[in-house]
Amino acid sequence: MQIRFLTVDGFNLIRRIFEARQPSRPEDVASVVDAAKGSLQRAIDRFSPTHAAVVLEDHDRTWRHLLYRDYKANRSPTPGLLLGHLDRFAGAFRDLGVTICKVASY
C-alpha cells in the first residue's frame, strides 16, 4: 500500500477564511468553522490520503522570537475573536478523522 500523507498549515487555512468572512460576533464564527472544515474535507476528497494532520501553531512567544526579536513584528495581531475559538476548529478537523499536531512554544 502506498502511503499518502496530507499535512495542512491549519492556522493559515483558518486565518484566510476568517479574514474573508470577517465575522464580528462570536455566533458568526460557526460559519468560519464550517467553511474551514469543508475546505479540509475537499482536500481529503481530492488527494485521498492514508494519513492526514493539521498543524496548529502556538500563539504565545516561540523559539523564533528568541532567535529574531522582530519575528512577525509587522503583522497585525490575531483577532481575539479568532483566538477564542481555535478549539472549535480543532474539534471540527478531528471530526474528519484528522490528527491535530500542536507543540507548546513552537
Spatial CA neighbour of 80 closest among 23, 8, 13: 23
pLDDT band at 5 (very low <50, low <70, confident <90, very high): very high
Distance separating alpha carbons of residues 73 and 71, to the nearest angstrom: 5
Rg (C-alpha) for the chain, rounded Å, is 15
66-79: per-residue pLDDT in tens?
888 887 778 788 88
Q: How far apart are alpha carbons 14 and 39 in whole angstroms?
A: 10
What integer pLDDT is reported at residue 87 of this predicted model?
Answer: 94
pLDDT category at 50 given cuts 50, 70, 90 is very high
Domains of the chain: 5-101 (3.40.50.1010)
pTM attached to this predicted model: 0.86
